[in-house]
Structure 1
Amino acid sequence: MAVMSPRQWALTAVVLAIMLALPLVLPAFWLSGILGRSLVYGIVALSLTFLASYGGFISLAQTMIAGVAGYTVAILAPTAIPASSSALSYWLAMPAALVAATVAGGVIGLIAVRTRDIYLLMITLALAVGFSLFAQSNIDWFNGYEGIRNILGPDIFGYPFRTHLVFYYVSLTVAALLYLLVLYVVRTPFGLTLQGIRDNPRRVSALGFDVALHRVAAFALAGFIAGCGGVLITFYNIGITPSSIGMTATVNVLVMSVIGGLGHPIGAFIGAVIFSLMDTFAATVYDRNRFNTLIGLVFLVIVLVSPDGVLGFGKRLLFWRKPKAREEQTGTH
């Protein structure tokens, strides 16, 4: 089965071409402050969208898993402040962070494998809040409330990672690869089985598939995706603190996913762009101190008007216009 239709491949290629060309016309602020930020947070939202759309799991632990990867790379980073006695090069710290995130995802899958709906939501939320509080109270590993600073990232072809172009292109490359990975996985036997479990787990179990194992594997894969986002977010913020993985950050990722649309992986990035724009320009549109009110109102309107997010609204608008165009053509003839 093809990963995407020729039309979808063409549309994806056009979007990527536009994204690759944007540095030629946009200032550095837009590259890192808006687009780069949207890409790295969109990766974490992508992990949530993957679980929700193809597995039927709404997990609020994805920000926690991103934090596991972020803290791992920060603890092992050679430039970290405070310095660690177990420091490695960035090229060794990053794979270690991804392994830690994947394992964390699998562990959460084991914990939540027999729960669904609101119970899964509450268990993953409790895990996320618990990890944030643990990081805040732990001084030896996580440096408590202050967190770990000066996580600059590796040099890429001799250029510092914090260079706007380097950060943007690396984030774009990672986001595109993970997006294609999700589209590929959901069309493999594993992905099709996972979707069958989402729709009717008893029937899939009767066919001889291990439902629990598939669910744990889905959480592990989502953990790997969230870990990639967590590493990039740590580089973007030049460090990590407990507040960056706390309740607010957890809810923000959920809002991004829902606003963009949980029905397709691209919705995660659409929601991340909308959220980043609103967060950046809230002071000029509304009151900066009431950003949560503003994003809450937008979230409420989108959920009421289009429960499947901006992506779903765009699809309905497209399909509404097509029949109308055909009617007009039929009437003229």
Structure 2
Amino acid sequence: MTNRQWLMTGAVVALLLMLPLFLPNFWLANILGRAMVYGIVALSLTFLAHYGGFISLAQTMMAGVAGYAVAMMAPTAIPLGPFAMSYGYAIPLAVLAATLTGALVGLIAVNTREIYLLMITLALAVGFSLFAQSNTQWFRGYEGIRNIVGPEVFGMPFRTHLVFYYVALITAVLLYLLVLYVVRTPFGLALQAIRDSARRTSAIGFSVALHRIGAFALAGFIAGCGGVLITFYNIGITPSSIGLWPTVAVLIMAVIGGLGHPVGAFLGALIYAVMDTFASSIIGHDRFNTLIGLVFLTIVLVSPDGVWGIGKRLAGLGGGKEPVSDPVAKLTAGGK
């Protein structure tokens, strides 16, 4: 990013840090906090789509693996599982499970492209949801696992509005910065080079398969962090929370916000959260899907790079292009 973009990012983060002084608790937890935790899952999709060149519909599954893992190990779970332990151990193990799941998805889908990649990742996501729904011993079937309230933070319950908001904000910012850092490392440059020309990148000695699997593993890590926070937000997890519609909803968030930059994931999640909170109560939940579909179609037709692209054009920051135009050349130059 340019210096101007870094300054804008810092200003936005500073504003978000001060918002609790002005906004009621409802907005902090149910709008902004919710948008950030779902935006983290959308961020994992945006990372794969923009820098890897492949759109995965398995991100909700990865988040769900982390959600179910932390729920099965949570000391407050109802019903209490046989692997109950403190949240200090359960959370890292849950994120690790999502990371390994991401690597496994990458291994399965490493040789697929475009519509075939979409279909195989969608099949994995739906398959996991159906498995969770039918399994009563570990995943508790339709009922799911409840009372996943999260750990105490500085002696305050995680469900406290300020605690949840700031934890979600800090996690979102750190993961956002992680993505911006990774895409400028040799791994990130190689991933973008593979996106542009897999054959050319392979010819200079990089393993296309290993980089793609690594990208899915990193996306699984990001989605896992979001999945744990979503489970705390919902105070539990059920198969319906990782089913087909949540899977599509994450894709809608990413596309509405803009797949051309990581911040688009959070913009799309915020728009979705606002519409889901207010529009569905006005027009009825049954018609909400129609409304979000029309918004999705309009934004795609008006601006294929989403709200982020519209904002960049209005601000005169360029057409949303990344500063590295030829990752292969960048790699052969030693990343300079």
Identify which of 136, 143, 146 aligns with 1:146: 143
Matched, 1:182 2:179: yes
Aligned length: 319
Matched, 1:292 2:289: yes
Aligned-pair CA distance for 1:6:
2.2
Aligned-pair CA distance for 1:315:
1.9
Matched, 1:19 2:34: no
Aligned-pair CA distance for 1:285:
4.5
The aligned residue for residue 66 of structure 1 is 63
Aligned-pair CA distance for 1:283:
3.7
CA displacement 1:240-290 (0-9 Å, x = unmatched): 000000000000000000000000000000000000000000145533320
Q: 1:29 to 1:320 in 2, by over 3 A?
A: closer
The aligned residue for residue 153 of structure 2 is 156
Q: Structure 2 length as normaliser, TM-score?
A: 0.93
The aligned residue for residue 326 of structure 2 is none
- Aligned-partner Cα distance in 2 for 1:280–1:25: 20
- Aligned-partner Cα distance in 1 for 2:241–2:82: 24
Which shows bigger deviation, 276-285 or 154-163? 276-285
CA displacement 1:281-316 (0-9 Å, x = unmatched): 014553332000000000010111111101112222
The aligned residue for residue 109 of structure 1 is 106
Matched, 1:222 2:219: yes
Matched, 1:166 2:163: yes
CA displacement 1:101-157 (0-9 Å, x = unmatched): 000000000000001100000000000000000000000100001000000000000
CA displacement 1:39-65 (0-9 Å, x = unmatched): 000000000000000000100000000
The aligned residue for residue 195 of structure 2 is 198
- Secondary structure of the structure 2 residue equivalent to 1:178: helix
Root-mean-square deviation (Å): 1.3
Structure 1: stretches of 5+ with no match in the other structure = 322-333
Matched, 1:247 2:283: no
CA displacement 1:180-217 (0-9 Å, x = unmatched): 00000000110000000000000000001000000000
- Aligned-partner Cα distance in 2 for 1:115–1:105: 15
Aligned-pair CA distance for 1:175:
0.2
- Aligned-partner Cα distance in 2 for 1:66–1:41: 10
Q: Which runs of 4+ in 1 moved over 6 A?
A: none
The aligned residue for residue 35 of structure 2 is 38
Identify which of 309, 313, 328 aligns with 1:312: 309
Aligned-pair CA distance for 1:320:
9.7
Map of 1:58-137 to 2, 5 A cutoff? Answer: 58-137=55-134
- Secondary structure of the structure 2 residue equivalent to 1:262: coil
1:53 partner amino acid: H
1:37 partner amino acid: R
- Aligned-partner Cα distance in 2 for 1:139–1:319: 55
1:192 partner amino acid: L
Instruction: Kindly name which structure, 1 or 2, has the bigger radius of gyration based on alpha carbons.
Output: 1
1:87 partner amino acid: A
- Secondary structure of the structure 2 residue equivalent to 1:170: helix
- Aligned-partner Cα distance in 2 for 1:101–1:67: 8
